[in-house]
Amino acid sequence: MLMRSIRAAFVVAALAATALSSHAQTVRPAVVEYAAQAKGKFDLVNETLFPMTVVLEPRGFQVDERGDLTDLPFDSTNVELKLSTMSFRIPPLATYTVHYEAKARQLPAWFMVLGSMSGARASNGLNLRIELPHVVYLLQKDALKKDAVTLRGFSYDTATRKAVLEFENTSASLGRVMGSELSADGKFGTPFGGFPLFPRSKRRVEVPWEGAAEPDKVMLRFAGFTFEERRASASDR
């Protein structure tokens, strides 16, 4: 149960990251996207003084509207994946590169390759086993369009000082938010990271806010367009 929780935490972080590390192990890049099919690679880095044994495992996943991840078996009926290796050892202070090819019968599709790394030890002498994900998105031919993205909710809680945003993707296309910002009067901006917007799904995001004025504008940057929306004023509400 503990390993499942660690895995889920790493994958959720990887969905918005450009690199992911823990206990001096790193996967890079953590997230990639390809048009239709992939021919890619990723590095696993061992920054410890111990040799590391690595076992790779393809896995599926799904993310609910609150951003919580469910770990799923790899769907080999839809995605064909070829890895250059399934297991290897990384010497101390070394990097190992894994090459792969992937294509899907039905797009969009997404999966991850988990690198289970063991061999290092914690300061208390216990052996560590860390799972780091390389997340792959295989995008559909037609990119996500701006008119498919809708802001369904934009509220601000003065007690918790958090803005609650709810977005919806009304199309069958997958898109990824590459950057984001919450602002007030265009003078105070707070970035809140990136995340995938899955086909015909909603995504709820809570953003801590430190500005004096209440936030009134949200911006999402996708690969092909920028989405901006303002919160309704008190008089409008």
For 121-166, write each residue's pLDDT tens digit: 665 666 678 899 999 999 999 999 999 999 999 999 999 999 999 9
Supply the pTM of this predicted model.
0.85
Give the CATH number of the domain where residue 191 resides.
2.60.40
Q: Residue 208 domain-assigned?
A: yes
- My answer on whether 130 and 152 are in the same domain is no
Kindly give the residue spans of alpha helices, DSSP state H, lying in the chain.
2-14
- My answer on whether 19 and 111 are in the same domain is yes
Q: What distance in Å separates the CA atoms of residue 95 and residue 81, rounded to the nearest whole number?
A: 22
Which has the closest alpha carbon to 97: 26, 19, 43, 31? 43
Q: What distance in Å separates the CA atoms of residue 84 and residue 97, rounded to the nearest whole number?
A: 9
> Which helix (H) or strand (E) covers residue 15, if one does?
none
Q: Final residue of a domain: which of 117, 139, 161?
A: 139
Q: What distance in Å separates the CA atoms of residue 137 and residue 72, rounded to the nearest whole number?
A: 15
Q: Final residue of a domain: which of 111, 139, 167?
A: 139
Q: What distance in Å separates the CA atoms of residue 17 and residue 135, rounded to the nearest whole number?
A: 10
Predicted confidence pLDDT, tens digits, the chain (237 residues): 334 434 544 555 555 554 454 456 889 999 999 999 999 999 999 988 889 999 999 999 999 999 999 999 999 999 999 999 999 999 999 999 999 999 999 999 999 999 999 886 665 666 678 899 999 999 999 999 999 999 999 999 999 999 999 999 999 999 999 999 999 987 789 999 999 999 999 999 999 999 889 999 999 999 999 999 999 765 454
The residue range of the domain holding 180 is 146-230
Q: Residue 200 domain-assigned?
A: yes
Q: What distance in Å separates the CA atoms of residue 106 and residue 37, rounded to the nearest whole number?
A: 11
- Other CB atoms within a 10 A radius of the CB of residue 191 amount to 12
Q: Residue 237 domain-assigned?
A: no
- 234: Cβ contacts below 8 Å, ≥ 6 apart: none
Q: Residue 109 domain-assigned?
A: yes
